[in-house]
A and B are shown apart, each in its own frame.
Chain A
């Protein structure tokens, strides 16, 4: 049984799921980031014929969460498609699958840098940012925003040293009151270490990170970034 971990942000209770998604019970909303659908076919266009099953795997994962939470809304935090043409490249079966999901829940597509526009044929609403109550949903964190924001974009991952070896996993990162960054959800999405200045600078006072596990999250603190940790 997988166990989601509760997190309170701006007075709202959010459930962090070990699959790398967030469920917001008050709105009956499921939130995922950086699906990067059709990343495989994008690479194929550049001569790297990666297995063309990535969208299918990503949608499988999403379907599982839809079954688990039965949300009324699904919010995708941008970079849902690997590029602007990605939606058009979806294989027919995958497109039909997505349409079926959109029958069960209202989809909200926040735009990202990879998918600055989306075709009208895509079911659901499209928005640059999506404010809801005390929370603001946007693709990329805003340097010093006043409101509590939920974001993706950076694909955070972290490494834990264990018995002379180490384990690296995608993770949630939060400062506990203003910002929650989601790991990338897509099958072919890699990660950026949370020590990288691009992420570390967004959490100047340190952060709590939740590494994704098979059935649960693993919780660690990071302090202020050390000089040595900042990687240019």
Chain B
């Protein structure tokens, strides 16, 4: 039975819904439902009907709606009704999920009805973990239903038997579409689906998605023509909106900080009152810190665990098993529990820290195992005053069902390059056909022929203006214009590098000679000396030494522990929430929703300075400690503020204001300078987005990181495989060096174009910056104050985590040099240097 599974994602509703028409079901299926006391849900029958009529389907339904069974039911019926099963007839149904664990889990749960109904259906999974002999068998004797991931699908499609394997394909089920569309993994899958459509035009697609903001875009993604054609959208109404309450820490309401540690005692109280609680936090560092603080006061030793993406998979599975077995009272988790498997028995969700967006919050709240027709409850725990505003905005946003999240961005050209090489590995193709095919994938619908040709030319011979790689080309064209892969070795190399996830170099943490606890980014280890302590996996660990790619650690130790942080770990505030926060701020009628200290704080701000208006931009300037401060209340999210800070300080430099640094939060940007900033209209002029932007971006480390990812995905440089460090035969070349050379000698190269396109979205949030500058033109509300305003206090408290302005690296080096010689003198050699975070050179 399902209940015996340690982790489960139910195939069927948890309670019998109202009776529905079962006439559409064959007897065997109707009997199976009846034997369980279940009835098929209307949307399950709708999907079945659409499928039978040959339509593609996008099913949007909340968690717990029997979504997965909706996807599989048409296939199970069709397979059960076929005259007689043909061995080696190829795959009938392909299921693709973003999570390996999900594919495995679904396979297990699917086996049950198939066995109970004695259906002659063979079900198998294919992921990176599938052993070689099973892969071989799958090629010779494909299963009826194959469950896989986007990467494994790409691999299957690159094999020369792909056409036969998929020729009989009838159905493609894409799970968690909302998590795939708009990401590079989603791009890879979309291209794979376009390929499948060519190999098996009969196959229909069924996309399964949580409730999202951008339905037409998602429908286009699932459809076979990339425009939403031939697709039926089936929606299941959401259950009653969840009831969200906001819990403030007892005592003082913090001015700043994002960890929410002050609320640890209250959180523990709530855990005590419920069966199983998931405590969601925003970063892995926050998970570690909150875990420590809760355990410090957990006198009853309630079983409370920690779960995040850097922990070893084995450790995570243990925690998940303990959750399912009911032996835990709470789990402190990051987004590692956002997706996928539906945990039985979660009674309560607590979100600690800013919710950041309505969709994300709903997703998290949905992890509680509520019945669809009942209201679920969740608690929001703001960590500071601004987060109180954000939590209230999120509460109202949820009540109004105002979903957020960005529309899917256009597909990455690096992914297209990877795919084209994969296509050639499977067999020769004509560029005209390939172009027609890829533009039927929604992310690539707008790609023009010139861009396509540039990408193809990159794959063929590098696409360099200087054509010297004729004899190294990867692809060649025959007399009929068909593109072939030149060498079996190139296909092997391609298969080693499939995928779009490029991890920062990671170091494993091993406890003595014992178990691996998980991984941290290499640069963090480079900051550790022998005996330094840090928190990980809920333990206090002491660094012993680094051996190859593994850091040896021991339990315990003294001193102030560090907490590993991870690049790009923080999500910015969504546009919708930002607008709500702004609207509430300037309208005192909305304030009664806030607790007393927040109301006082806002009233004080109104008295001392002004409140940010709904569509103006409040900018305060004031002197403090011999410097001038400028605080801009933009509410565009941290990433956009970082970009704006960089641009603004460059401009201040040109205006002779002498900027010294800046700091960005999700709500405001603060910059400080030697002189008083005066002409703010000129300072915030839109033309900031011109030359300054170009110059800064090109040189920024963010663009270099982006280039590295693009170069790996496009196949220009090798992926750094774990464990490959030691015996690496080929010389790797640092991507920064390639970037510098390419930028200088072929600035219009297709990979640089791809890099710019990526960077313009993502971390820089350029769209939000330019949108704001446009919106506030002529509406800058400048308040010249004689001291810091109440609303500015939180950001001023963040000073110290600032960005340094100007030719930063050179100044920092000079500063470090001066500091060291001052502190040590020439005669006392000192180990001030850290280990370099990366080895990009080995002797050969």
Asked if B733 lies at the interface with its beta carbon under 8 angstroms from chain A, I say yes
Asked if B474 lies at the interface with its beta carbon under 8 angstroms from chain A, I say yes
Taking the closest CB of chain A, its distance from the CB of B719, in whole angstroms, is 12
Asked if B844 lies at the interface with its beta carbon under 8 angstroms from chain A, I say yes
Sampled A-B contacts (5; CB under 8 Å): A49-B469, A52-B462, A53-B746, A159-B834, A221-B832
Per-residue CB contact flags for chain B residues 443-463 toward chain A (1 = under 8 Å, else 0) read: 000000000000000100110
Say whether A206 contacts B829, CB under 8 Å: yes
Asked if A76 lies at the interface with its beta carbon under 8 angstroms from chain B, I say no
- Report B-chain residues with C-beta under 8 Å of the C-beta of A159: 526, 833-837
Say whether A53 contacts B840, CB under 8 Å: no
Say whether B716 contacts A48, CB under 8 Å: yes
User: Which of B472, B523, B749, B807 is packed against the most chain A CB atoms within 10 Å?
Assistant: B472
Taking the closest CB of chain A, its distance from the CB of B183, in whole angstroms, is 26
Q: Which of B536-554 contact A (CB under 8 A)?
A: 543, 545-548
Cβ-closest chain B residue relative to A82: B731
Asked if B268 lies at the interface with its beta carbon under 8 angstroms from chain A, I say no
Say whether A50 contacts B716, CB under 8 Å: yes
* Stretch in contact with the other chain, from B28-36, B609-617, B811-819: B811-819
- Report A-chain residues with C-beta under 8 Å of the C-beta of B829: 206, 221-223
Asked if A189 lies at the interface with its beta carbon under 8 angstroms from chain B, I say yes
Taking the closest CB of chain B, its distance from the CB of A142, in whole angstroms, is 16
- Report A-chain residues with C-beta under 8 Å of the C-beta of B321: none
Say whether B841 contacts A189, CB under 8 Å: yes
Which residue of B812, B814, B831 contacts A229 across the interface (Cβ within 8 Å)?
B831
Asked if A80 lies at the interface with its beta carbon under 8 angstroms from chain B, I say no
Taking the closest CB of chain B, its distance from the CB of A152, in whole angstroms, is 12
Say whether A214 contacts B833, CB under 8 Å: no
Residue positions of A touching B, CB distance < 8 A:
39, 41-54, 56-57, 82, 91, 113-114, 153, 155, 157-169, 184, 187-196, 198, 206, 209, 211, 213-215, 218-223, 226-229, 231-232
Say whether B745 contacts A56, CB under 8 Å: yes
- Report A-chain residues with C-beta under 8 Å of the C-beta of B804: 163
- Report B-chain residues with C-beta under 8 Å of the C-beta of A221: 820, 824, 826, 828-830, 832
Taking the closest CB of chain B, its distance from the CB of A77, in whole angstroms, is 15
A146 to B275, CA, bound (A): 75
The B interface is mostly helix, strand or loop, or mixed, namely loop
- Report A-chain residues with C-beta under 8 Å of the C-beta of B489: 47
A131 to B763, CA, bound (A): 53
Say whether B813 contacts A51, CB under 8 Å: no
Say whether A160 contacts B834, CB under 8 Å: yes
Cβ-closest chain A residue relative to B824: A221
A227 to B840, CA, bound (A): 22
Asked if B490 lies at the interface with its beta carbon under 8 angstroms from chain A, I say yes
Say whether A166 contacts B523, CB under 8 Å: yes
A196 to B844, CA, bound (A): 16
**4 further interface pairs, Cβ-Cβ under 8 Å (given A43-B733, A51-B745, A161-B833):** A50-B462, A160-B816, A189-B841, A221-B820
Say whether A54 contacts B832, CB under 8 Å: no
Say whether A188 contacts B733, CB under 8 Å: yes
Say whether B810 contacts A213, CB under 8 Å: yes
A167 to B812, CA, bound (A): 8
- Report A-chain residues with C-beta under 8 Å of the C-beta of B543: 228
Give me the 9 closest cross-chain CB pairs, A-B, nearest first: A190-B840, A49-B462, A228-B530, A190-B841, A193-B836, A221-B829, A162-B812, A44-B472, A53-B745
Cβ-closest chain A residue relative to B717: A48
A41 to B737, CA, bound (A): 15
- Report B-chain residues with C-beta under 8 Å of the C-beta of A218: 813-814, 816-817
- Report B-chain residues with C-beta under 8 Å of the C-beta of A82: 731
Which residue of B545, B718, B843 contacts A198 across the interface (Cβ within 8 Å)?
B843
Say whether B831 contacts A223, CB under 8 Å: yes
Say whether B835 contacts A195, CB under 8 Å: yes
- Report B-chain residues with C-beta under 8 Å of the C-beta of A168: 836-838
Which residue of B742, B828, B830, B835 contacts A193 across the interface (Cβ within 8 Å)?
B835
Cβ-closest chain A residue relative to B842: A192
Say whether A190 contacts B737, CB under 8 Å: yes
Cβ-closest chain B residue relative to A198: B843
- Report B-chain residues with C-beta under 8 Å of the C-beta of A50: 462, 716-717, 733, 738
Which residue of B741, B809, B835 contacts A57 across the interface (Cβ within 8 Å)?
B741
Asked if B435 lies at the interface with its beta carbon under 8 angstroms from chain A, I say no
Cβ-closest chain A residue relative to B543: A228
Say whether A213 contacts B813, CB under 8 Å: yes
